[in-house]
């Protein structure tokens, strides 16, 4: 059993295909079954709510971090192990970063892409060395990587940017990767230095 904390970024919508919700539920359940702590955006909607609901249903420790102005809009998840309310989206991301030993990214919209790009940028700037795992549900992660490859080809990022994250084929492979991960003392810096 691993007691690492996994921050999951994912959509506040369920997506157009049932595979997205199925993957979110499988990830949440698996995180709990492996004794890992889940950190997520605090909402009871979309993939976000599915991950948290499955983790809670499997007896997992779930921390939701939500900005005050989104509490009503996203309908905060009830019955969490811990709910942290922040004053802004940026503070939310900083708190989600601080709680994470690793990041897992499921499909999502603009907010998910924002979270991914910020955490990739922080890693590029050597503010942390935590794993960033994109789960390739229905080719979603491959398409995101294609955008980043285009940025590299256009000369706006170095080829080493492709090494900032890893694409994992599915939820079982993601859980295996997380279970094998052991955070070292140099995996992340203090959030104050971001």
Q: Is the dihedral of CA 171, 174, 178, 184 positive or negative?
A: negative
Give a yes or no: residue 189 inside a domain.
no
CB neighbour burial string for 44-73, b if at least 16 within 10 angstroms, e if fewer: bbbbbbbbbbbbbebebbbbbbbbeebeee
Q: Please report, for the domain that includes residue 93, its CATH number.
A: 3.40.50.450
Check: CB of residue 135 under 8 Å from CB of residue 126. no
pLDDT at position 72: 72
Is the backbone of residue 69 left (phi > 0), alpha (psi -120 to 50) or beta? alpha
pLDDT at position 114: 96
Give a yes or no: residue 186 inside a domain.
no
The average pLDDT across 71-97 equals 91
Instruction: Give the residue among 90, 86, 144 at the shortest CA–CA distance from 118.
Output: 90
pLDDT digits (tens, 9 = 90+) for 2-53: 689 999 999 999 999 999 999 999 999 999 999 999 999 999 999 999 999 9
Give a yes or no: residue 11 inside a domain.
yes
Domain, as residue range, for 140: 5-181
Give a yes or no: residue 188 inside a domain.
no
Give a yes or no: residue 187 inside a domain.
no
The average pLDDT across 46-74 equals 93
pLDDT at position 68: 92
Contacts of 106 (CB under 8 A, 6+ apart): 8, 9, 10, 11, 20, 23, 24, 27, 47, 51, 112, 135, 137, 140
Give a yes or no: residue 99 inside a domain.
yes
Q: Mapping DSSP to helix (H, G, I), strand (E, B) and coil, where does residue 147 land?
A: helix
Q: Mapping DSSP to helix (H, G, I), strand (E, B) and coil, where does residue 167 land?
A: strand
pLDDT digits (tens, 9 = 90+) for 135-192: 999 999 999 999 999 999 999 999 999 999 999 999 999 999 999 998 875 555 544 4
pLDDT at position 75: 81
Give a yes or no: residue 103 inside a domain.
yes
The number of distinct structural domains making up the chain is 1
pLDDT at position 1: 54
pLDDT at position 76: 86
**CB count, 10 Å around CB of 120?**
18
The average pLDDT across 55-74 equals 92
pLDDT at position 189: 52
Q: What is the pTM of this model?
A: 0.94
């Amino acid at each position: 059993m691993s007691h690492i904390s996994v921050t999951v970024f994912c959509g506040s919508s369920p997506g157009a295909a049932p595979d997205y919700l199925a993957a979110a539920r499988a990830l949440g359940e698996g995180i709990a079954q492996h004794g890992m702590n889940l950190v997520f955006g605090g909402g009871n909607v979309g993939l976000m709510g599915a991950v948290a609901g499955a983790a809670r249903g499997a007896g997992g420790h779930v921390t939701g971090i939500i900005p005050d102005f989104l509490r009503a809009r996203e309908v905060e998840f009830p019955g969490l192990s811990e709910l942290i309310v922040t004053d802004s989206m940026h503070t939310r991301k900083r708190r989600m970063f601080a709680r994470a030993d690793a990041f897992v990214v499921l499909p999502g919209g603009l907010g998910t892409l924002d979270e991914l790009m910020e955490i990739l940028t922080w890693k590029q700037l050597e503010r942390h060395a935590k794993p960033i795992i994109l789960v390739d549900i229905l080719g979603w992660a491959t398409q995101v990587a294609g955008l980043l490859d285009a940025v590299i080809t256009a000369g706006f990022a170095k080829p080493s940017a492709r090494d900032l994250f890893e694409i994992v084929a599915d939820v079982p492979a993601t859980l295996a990767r997380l279970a094998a991960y052991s955070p070292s003392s140099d995996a992340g810096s203090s959030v104050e230095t971001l």
